[in-house]
Amino acid sequence: MGTTALADVTAGQVWGDFKSYLQGFGYEITADETQTGDGLTVSNVTMVMEMPEGAGTARVTVPELSFSETGDGSVEMTMPNMSTTTYNVDVEGEGDSSGEIDVVQNDFVMLVSGSPGDMVYNYSATDMQMAFKNLMVDGKPVDVAVARVEMRNLEGQSNSKVTDLRRTEQTMRAGSMGYDIDMADPEGGSGRLVMKGAVSAIEFAGTATTPTEAVDTNDMNAMLESGFGVEGNFTHSGSTTEFSFDEDASTVSGTVVSKSGSLGVRMDAGQLGYTVGSNDVTLNVTSSDLPFPVEMAMADSQLKFEMPVTPSEDPQDFALAIKLGDFVMSDMIWSMFDPAGQLPRDPATIAVDLTGTARLDAPIMDPEAMESAEAPGELRTLTIGDLVLRLAGAELTGAGDFTFDNSDTSTFDGMPRPEGALNLKLVGGNTLLDTLVAMGFVPQEQATGVRMMMGLFAVPGEGEDTLTSRIEVNEQGHVLANGQRLR
């Protein structure tokens, strides 16, 4: 009620803000405007955007938009049930494609309040669909029986504040999302893909900053320098995908299920970053080329990636983390190489967390700079944290820190000289090696060589079948293992 009482916007101001927002992304907009008794009707709306690097154009056509002033200072915006987007993509060396996307929305309502320069858009819809049709690749039609995405029980809010930049804060929720694809190989092969899936309880929260003046959307580096940036996070509480692929006499089909997941994205002049995660993932696949189904599961899957994008005299942070936690597979797969069950079948985990700093000399988003033979910057520090490899009864863990002297690239043959240490611990390694010898996977003479190598790099630790190792590189460039010089 407080928001409504303070609202003071007109239909013309809302339409102007809407246009300005889209123009900031590079759209050219044409439309016919007609004043009405309670606001404004905008018809024959055409929005055209040139894709980066001359790859083609995207064209959105909307028959009519209506902006009605409600009498309390807010504006109700309505849209037609259906609008169409046409696109034409022509990438040099990759061929061309074109098609149409029909957007259908039912019971769509948007109420705009606030004041000029600080508008709040609240919207909802019972469902929204996007259907792809008339797909062409290299001038030939593609057999598409269905290609559709649908969201149900959609609601959200967008708060747009304009100063020297436009800052938009957004939240969105959807009860579910479904997708359905049945199409032939777009490159003209004999294959056919059928995929159907559903995602429940989708939520999004994020912010975006865009220049108030039009910029060249083909130059991402210029956009970032002018203030463009996005940051957001999607979450869901469960997803299911069913798929099948047929080609000639070969068929592959299966299901992928996860209980929850997330996707985070950040891109601005400071950082480019992604985080992807899934929990309790199961995979079941059957193939005409395999005599039994493939069944796998994983409790935790995580990927994190962060890196600087614009040059700076000061070192900037980067990160890379990967985790595949508690991976298991069916006894049928184990029996292919371990029919007697000699190897422990405990869940396997692979994880590594790398962080550090680097000085960037050239913008990552500049293609010409990235094509240069010169390194785009200098690595300054590296931290290895939470290194874990747990498999078949053995476990390797480790952590370490290194700094790098970029003025010395001769000690390590073109690589900046590192200084620091990595601490490693191996539990169950000898037992696993004995089992592999007994199974015939590793010849005895090779096992003996492996033990000699472990004796060179490791020392006995606390506990049975435990080895530890400290690998150091000192300021003279010497490499030491547990104090013994190796280089």
pLDDT tens digit sequence for 29-40: 999 999 998 999
Please, what is the average pLDDT of the chain?
A: 90
Task: Say yes or no to pLDDT of 369 above 50.
Answer: yes
Contacts of 1 (CB under 8 A, 6+ apart): none
Task: Say yes or no to pLDDT of 230 above 80.
Answer: yes
Tens of pLDDT, residue by residue over 46-93, are: 888 877 666 677 788 888 899 999 989 999 998 888 888 888 777 666
Using pLDDT thresholds of 50, 70 and 90, give the confidence band for residue 417.
very high
Stronger pLDDT, 2 or 239, i.e. the higher one: 239
Asked if 349 contacts 324 with a C-beta cutoff of 8 angstroms, the reply is: yes
Specify the pLDDT at position 5: 41
Task: Say yes or no to pLDDT of 400 above 90.
Answer: yes
In degrees rounded to 5, what are phi and psi of residue 281? -95, 135
Tens of pLDDT, residue by residue over 434-481, are: 999 999 999 999 999 999 888 888 999 998 999 999 999 999 999 999
Q: Where are the beta strands (DSSP E) in 163-215?
A: 165-184, 192-211
Asked if 23 contacts 16 with a C-beta cutoff of 8 angstroms, the reply is: no
Specify the pLDDT at position 114: 92
Specify the pLDDT at position 299: 96
Q: What is the dihedral of CA 452, 454, 455, 459, to 10 degrees?
A: -170
Tell me which residue of 209, 203, 113 sits closest to 169, measured CA to CA: 209
What is the pTM (predicted TM-score) of this model?
Answer: 0.84
DSSP-derived secondary structure for 228-283: -EEEEEEEES-EEEEEEEEETTEEEEEEEEESEEEEEEEESSS-EEEEEEEEEEEE
> What distance in Å separates the CA atoms of residue 119 and residue 4, rounded to the nearest whole number?
12
Stronger pLDDT, 93 or 139, i.e. the higher one: 139
Tell me which residue of 125, 130, 178 sits closest to 155, measured CA to CA: 125
Asked if 202 contacts 236 with a C-beta cutoff of 8 angstroms, the reply is: yes
Task: Say yes or no to pLDDT of 3 above 60.
Answer: no
Tens of pLDDT, residue by residue over 335-362, are: 888 999 999 999 999 999 999 999 998 8
Task: Say yes or no to pLDDT of 7 above 60.
Answer: no
Specify the pLDDT at position 224: 85
In degrees rounded to 5, what are phi and psi of residue 294? -100, 120
Place of tokens 């043959």: 413
Asked if 294 contacts 284 with a C-beta cutoff of 8 angstroms, the reply is: yes
Length of the chain: 487
